[in-house]
Amino acid sequence: MGFMDWGMKNRLSRILKPQTGRTVMLAVDHGYFLGPTSRLENLEATIRPLLPYADSLMLTRGALRTSVDAGADVPIVLRVSGGTSIVGPNLADEGITTSFEEAIRLNVAAVALSVFIGSEHEHQTLLSLADLVNEGETFGIPVLAVTAVGKELEKRDARYLALACRIAAEIGAHIVKTYYCEGFEKVVEGCPVPVVIAGGPKLESELDALQLAYDAISRGAAGVDMGRNIWQSDFPVPMIRAVREIVHNNVKPDEAHDLFVDLKEAAKK
């Protein structure tokens, strides 16, 4: 981070905690193309209990203004790309939906967009990333690039993700969000900025999701930017607390799962 201005460093350290260099980001931006995703119908009710355990909150401006208390002490990673929907012709056809002026007004810690590398909209989404980085460098606001694959989930292999992450970092993204995959260490090795992982669709069990977080961290991820595997759990607070143990305290999946079970049982009482 030596090359960075103070404001940029400060915002990044609000997301990537200096004590561990890692982060548990909570992703609740799904509605921008999925509508009222299961368990995210009432955003405010889903987000509120999780806030004390989130190192940052990733969401759109509409979600932020309507569903998060302005007094909440949580760094905001504002999703500023969109313009497509799950029922529309092409998820990759995104543009920038939110100005930098608006991001500054909302006092964000970072802005985020998706890039769709290998798609017919690769060029436009990469130029959007370049524009955001140019503005981000002007105002000291980091840019998180999501290496999105739309509906083409089979693209999530190390060769593709290493290419996508590297391109995003070369254009100037300060953090890259991608998927965990076999050979994930190659993705991290080839990316000169911190890499965080999405959780993806809800896995069979909480233990599977904790294993995913552990595998990513132990192969070099700087953290998670997780959504569905936290708030689609029947016990979201125990789940995010268990994820935190893995990310910040290097706890093994079984041990984190024991904590999840204890907290779940206590929550039932």
In the complex with ligand 5RP, which residue's Cβ is closer, 60 or 251?
Answer: 60
Minimum distance from residue 28 beta carbon to ligand 5RP (Å): 8
Is residue 225 at the binding interface for ligand 5RP, with CB under 6 A as the rule?
yes
Assess whether 252 carries a catalytic annotation. Answer: no
Query: Applying CB under 6 A, which part among 9-17, 118-126, 153-161, 196-204 lies near ligand 5RP?
Result: 196-204
Minimum distance from residue 151 beta carbon to ligand 5RP (Å): 12
In the complex with ligand 5RP, which residue's Cβ is closer, 118 or 140?
Answer: 118
Q: Which of 17, 151, 177, 186 is catalytic?
A: 177
Tell me the β-bridge partners of 25.
Answer: 56, 225
Q: Please select the residue that binds ligand 5RP; options are 11, 155, 228, 248, rule is CB under 6 A.
A: 228
Is residue 243 at the binding interface for ligand 5RP, with CB under 6 A as the rule?
no
Q: By CB under 6 A, what part of segment 98-157 binds ligand 5RP?
A: 114, 146, 148
Q: Tell me the Ramachandran region of residue 79: left when phi exceeds 0, alpha when psi lies from -120 to 50, beta otherwise.
A: beta
Q: By CB under 6 A, what part of segment 10-69 binds ligand 5RP?
A: 27, 29-30, 58
> How big is the chain by its Cα radius of gyration, in Å?
17
What is the CA angle 181-195-192, rounded to 5?
115
Minimum distance from residue 227 beta carbon to ligand 5RP (Å): 3
Return the structure tokens found at 148: 């999105």
Minimum distance from residue 225 beta carbon to ligand 5RP (Å): 6
Is residue 200 at the binding interface for ligand 5RP, with CB under 6 A as the rule?
yes
Chain residues that interact with ligand 5RP, rule: CB under 6 A: 27, 29-30, 58, 114, 146, 148, 198-200, 225-229
